Amino acid sequence: MKFDQIKELKDEKFRRLTGVRKGIFSKMVDILSKADGLKKSKGGRKNKLNLEEQLLMALEYLREYHTYFHIGQNYGISESSAYKAVKWVEDTIVKTPKLCSSRL
């Protein structure tokens, strides 16, 4: 699923699909953007998926518990890349206490 396909959804449907409101989703993307900037400052390969798609993939995994293979196929990446992306998103979001304490 691409972010371009769902960004125009009304807030109610967006939340039903992702499990979070658009405002929280935007805050999460901002947090991931800062963390990605720090990670990329050391160099490294560019991700195939943008941050919004990585976050969507992680939310899909947490909400529906598809296998990494299944999620990877949906997003056009390998199983191991899906695992790494979901793990990075989870770890980054959990390290943000202000967001974790807010009501999702």
Q: pLDDT by residue (tens digit) across 30-44?
A: 999 999 988 777 777
Q: Tell me what pLDDT residue 67 has.
A: 95
Q: Tell me what pLDDT residue 1 has.
A: 63
* Low pLDDT (below 70) residues in the chain: 1, 99-104
- Model pTM score: 0.86
Q: Tell me what pLDDT residue 57 has.
A: 95
Residue 81 belongs to domain spanning: 3-101
Q: Tell me what pLDDT residue 101 has.
A: 53
Q: Tell me what pLDDT residue 103 has.
A: 55
If one counts the domains in the chain, the total is 1
Long-range contacts, 85-88 (Cβ 8 Å, 24+): 85/47, 85/49, 85/54, 85/57, 85/58, 86/54, 86/57, 86/58, 86/61, 88/54
